[in-house]
């Protein structure tokens, strides 16, 4: 399993997430947030997970 993350300093476009009327995926809490905001929060969560996980020693060579 692997994950690739790309950090963009400034996006060309700020695309806002719109609320869905039915909220079938329960993601309306992201309404009015930009994709850039969501991507940066996801990257922070991924780094936090790797730094605190049991596999930290293996991953630490990539994070330093």
Query: 23-35 pLDDT, tens per residue?
Result: 999 999 999 999 9
Locate 3 and state its tokens: 């994950």
Mean of per-residue pLDDT scores for the chain? 84
Predicted confidence band at 48 (pLDDT cuts at 50, 70, 90)? confident
Locate 16 and state its tokens: 């806002």
Predicted confidence band at 1 (pLDDT cuts at 50, 70, 90)? low
Neighbouring residues of 50: CB distance < 8 A, sequence distance ≥ 6: 56, 59, 63
- Examine the pLDDT at 57 and tell me if it is beyond 70: no
Locate 21 and state its tokens: 């009327």
């Amino acid at each position: 399993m692997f994950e690739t993350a790309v950090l963009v300093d400034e996006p060309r476009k700020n695309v806002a997430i719109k609320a869905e009327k039915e909220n079938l995926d329960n993601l309306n809490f992201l309404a009015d947030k930009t994709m850039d905001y969501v991507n940066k929060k996801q990257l922070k969560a991924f780094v936090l997970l790797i730094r605190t996980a049991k596999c930290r020693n293996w991953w630490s060579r990539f994070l330093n």
